A and B are shown apart, each in its own frame.
Chain A
Amino acid sequence: MPTPSATQRPRIAGVGRVLVVVYAILALGAFGRSLVQIIQQFDQAPLAYTLSAVSAAVYIVATVALVARGAIWYRIAWITITFEMIGVLVVGTLSVVAPELFAHASVWSYYGVGYLFIPLVLPVLGMLWLSKHRPVPAGVEGAPVEGASR
């Protein structure tokens, strides 16, 4: 049995599952890229590559947080997704304004153009999803959940 918490969240359902999968793919992509960068050329741009690794880790945690139940994971999901949103906006803007800082590609360079702008769109969708699917108090778990379909 998982430790009981004050609130319960229904298992992620419906279109939210697609969101989780896209998050997982992005996490995989960011992880793969940062692995290659760190193995091969960490010395060239320690800052950019550390950032790459951090963003990969954050995507992985966000994926888990979207799936996991409970109020704590709900909060973690908000924190990680907000971090991603800020990251893609700040790094994206910096890579346009001061390209010399981010000469080495990262997930967030140019607002994620290398990843079809998915890093820019995904946090928005994630936030929309989270705000529509707040944890419900324990005990009313059987109650119909808005937005949860088939």
Chain B
Amino acid sequence: MLRRKLWRDLKANYGAYLACAGVLVIGLMLYVSLSVILESLTDSRDDYYQKYRFGDGFARFVQGPAGLARDLEDIEGIERAVGRLVQEVMVNNALGEATTTVRLVSFDSPDQPVNRFRLESGRIPADGSREVLVSPAFLKGNEYHLGDNLPLVILGREVNFKISGTANSPEYIYEIPGGNALAPDPKAFGVAFVSYSTISSLFNMQGSVNDISFILSQDTEFKDVKKAVERQLQGCGLTGLVSREDQLSHSMLTQELLGLKGSASTTPIIFLVVASAILYITLRRMIEQQRGQIGLLKAFGFSDREIIIHYLGYPLIIGGFGGFAGGLAGSWFSFQLAILYQQFYNIPGLQGKISPGYIGAATLLSIAFGVIAGYQGCKRVTKLSPAEAMRPPAPLAGRRIIIEKFGILWSNLSTRVRMAVRNVFRNRQRTAIAILGVACAFSMMVTARGMFDSTFYLIDFQYNRVELYDLKTVLRGYADKISIVSGAEHVDGVAKAEPLLEVPVTLNYRWHKKDTVLTGLSDQSSLYRLLTQDNEHVTLPRNGIVISTQLAELLDVTQGDKITVKPMVGDLKEQHIPVKRIIPQYVGMGAYMDIDSLSALLKSSPVASSVMVKVEKDKFSEVRKQLQKGANVAAIQDKTKQKAQFEDLMETSMASQYVLLFFSFVLGFAIVYNVNIISLSERERELATLMVIGMSEREIGRILLIEQGLLGSAAVLLGIPLSYSMLYGIAKATATEIYNMPMVVKPETFAVAAAGTVIFLLAAHWKITRKIKKLSMLDVLKQQE
């Protein structure tokens, strides 16, 4: 019999329960889909790493004998090592412009002991043949087909390769070249595998390698062998030696996994907590309304336990339904997420799935939250004696609220406004829950958009204010600064050329240590500007170093401290250089010096490793063609393209923002709607009285609207700091050495979130006014209080 009552009660209040279940469904859908993807990404990665023998350490150097790999294997702790030739070359397109860079990676045999590739289609290039394997993303992104020609510019001349197949490697799950590229762009960069004999003869490097990756034996850590490897590679011009943790693709993937983990464990909680809060207040109110029935049940001899179990049936049904539906929705969503992730990560085996485990966990989680909230809401049943329960509850005692102490303000308010204000304070607990819920929804909206604001700010900062060049010619090795710059300046269409010198170094301060790239710029550099917090141009000092805030934090240095700089190139002594300035930076962990001083550090006359060029309008194509003719040009980076590509990527992922906006909207609506329903049910009699004394539905609606306004304003006020702390948390969680997000929220974002809040408040209000219209003055007034 009680079961029948349960169903009828659910039906009678279906709106409130549906809203609550909706919030649960969203929360658990996020939980399940993110968890499934997280699990699939982690598992596929581990599996991939193991099967294709992903390295534990990676060394890059200028040139060394091929036998070095075997020498490294003699180091205790290194199990296997493989030497390779890795060279970046440009692809000539139909117009003769080289806009795409390909990283050629040599292989001895497809089953080499470290860093194997996984053949996806076609066949492996024959030894010594002019054939390459490219990544499937590269093939697709550039609209190539198997068997197509790939014209590469090698040492200044065009060499035709044939695409014999496609392959991926655990080394390039996230296929970016490094530097300031943050997202894969197959049109700009791709990886290709070529046989060692082909590449070594083309580059005249027979018998040499410039890259060694190695696998450690069990129980050995990278730092145990680092020194020995460095010693072994002495004289080869070591330019980089990193562990797996710092390997570019791996660290990007790890960061993504950390972010996913964070999202999977926090976002669903917000929804679950809000849903629980709704259940709690709904049940509490229901128990109050049904106290007469409860008294009767008790009088009939039902025990407290039976009655509580009856009331727990509501959260059980709603929680069970929400959890299960959320689990199913999450399973579906995991397939969509997998498709999205496959666009960024070349990882086999990544897929969504219907996971009974997670669906079960979601259901249990949802029921647990529901039942705990429900129990809190209905435990008061036990305190009622049957006789007491059958009496109506004590009527509301009106009371003054704190605002009334501001006499002048208060006395100027109309009675209707006063009534609205006091109503907001009537049930403080419920109001607090509503304000918190709305604040959460508001902050989620701000956060959803704020992340894009921050990213666009980053793009603008980096590409419009710091890097002002159009093209960057990256050289193979170093070249005389003056001749290379004047050479570029003489190219027709070049408005301005400036040198850039990038040197891999190890920075030391006390016990802190960091391998990074030290960039040399001319002291009046105008194509690459260093800016202070207030956008002031920093002039590089003759004797001193300028570093980024992140690097300063990592090394724990402040302005004026002397840090130790040791170039990784050649066998140069370390030097102590004072930190002259610390500047904000969002891309990379930069350190900067005057180019001539940096050259001096290398015991060299002024040199450069790249030339930055500002191009006259409409001369891009010609300038490119001229620049790429240089024999020692490794790549030409087009900043405008990089920027546009990055912006495109952001635009496409903006869609996720709308999903989040929608979810926040549902969250906000659900809580406001429920709170409104409950307070309406408490106040039916009052509202009917207002009608009887001659207020129109509209006027009554206006009083309720004032309440909504007060609630919404309080929530927005609370939501602003909440948004910033959410964004701060995200920025902290996603900060990497490659980039860290500035915290920038545009006023429009707050406006959009506030508008969203107003809209769901109005939507909830509209639903309530419809209920007011149905309110019967007669029925309500007939009842005794």
Binding partners A and B: no
| Chain A residues in the interface with B (C-beta under 8 A) | none
Q: Interface residues, chain B, CB within 8 Å of chain A?
A: none
